[in-house]
Chain A
Amino acid sequence: MAIKVLQPGLATTVQDAGRIGYYHLGIPLSGALDQYSFRAANLLVGNPEDAATLEITMLGPKLEFMHDAVIALTGANLPAKLDGVPMPGNQAVAVKAGSVLSFDFLKDGVRAYLAVAGGIDVPEVLGSRSTYTLGAIGGFCGRKLQAGDVLPVGAFQGPLHTGKKLPDHLKQALPKQVQVRVLPGLYFHWLTQASGKSFFEDTWQVGPEADRIGYRFKHGRPLEFEPRERPFGAGSDPSNIVDAGYPIGSIQVPGGLEPIVLHRDAVSGGGYAMIGTVISADMDVVAQLQPNFQTQFVAVDMVQALSARAKRNQRLADLRQALLN
Chain B
Amino acid sequence: MSLPPARYSFGGDEHIFVELNHEMSLEAFFKGMSITNAIAQRKIAGVTEICPANASYQVRFDPDLIAPDKLMEILKSIEVELGDGALELNTRIIEIPVFYNDPWTNETQQRFRERHQDPTSTDLEYGARVNGYANVDAFIAAHAASPWFVSMVGFVAGLPFMFQMVERAKQIQVPKYLRPRTDTPKLTIGHGGCFGCIYSVRGAGGYQMFGITPAPIFDPQQSLPYVKDFMVFFRPGDIVKFKPINRSEYDAALTKVQDGSFDLRIREVKFSLQDFVKDPSAYNQQLTETLYGN
Please list the residues of chain A having a beta carbon within 8 angstroms of any beta carbon in chain B.
20-27, 125, 132, 134-137, 142, 183, 185-186, 231-237, 240-245, 247-250, 267-271, 274, 276-281, 302, 305-306, 309, 313
Contacts and interface: CB of A to CB of B under 8 A. Distances in A.
A278 B60 CA distance: 14
B23 A247 contact: no
B14 A183 contact: no
Contacts of A249: 11-12, 14
B12 A250 contact: yes
Interface residues of B, number: 56
Interface string B172-202: 0101100000000000000011110000110
B13 A302 contact: yes
Nearest to A270: B155
Given A240-B193, A243-B193, A269 B155 contact: yes
B56 interface: yes
Nearest to B157: A135
B11 A247 contact: yes
A115 B113 CA distance: 46
A279 B157 CA distance: 25
Given A136-B220, A233-B24, A243 B161 contact: yes
Given A185-B10, A232-B194, A274-B11, 7 more contacts: A25-B153, A134-B157, A136-B220, A186-B11, A236-B176, A244-B53, A306-B68
A305 to B, nearest CB: 4
Contact of B56 (A244, A270, A279): A244
Interface in B38-56: 48-56
A305 B11 contact: no
A24 B194 CA distance: 21
Interface in B3-58: 9-15, 17, 19, 22-25, 48-58
Contact of B53 (A137, A269, A276, A305): A269
Given A185-B10, A306-B13, A125 B220 contact: yes
A222 B12 CA distance: 23
Contact of A183 (B12, B49, B201): B12
B152 interface: yes
Contacts of A268: 51, 154-156
A247 B13 contact: no
Contact of A309 (B13, B23, B54): B13
Nearest to B233: A25
A135 B158 CA distance: 9
Contacts of A23: 49, 51, 60, 154
B195 A233 contact: yes
A143 to B, nearest CB: 12
Interface string B186-228: 0000001111000011010000000000000010100000000
Contacts of A22: 232
Nearest to A301: B10
A235 B193 contact: yes
B64 interface: yes
A241 B54 CA distance: 11
Given A134-B156, A271-B193, A305-B13, A27 B175 contact: no
B165 interface: no
A260 to B, nearest CB: 12
Contacts of B57: 245
Contacts of B17: 185-186, 244-245, 247, 274
B23 A231 contact: yes
A135 B55 CA distance: 25
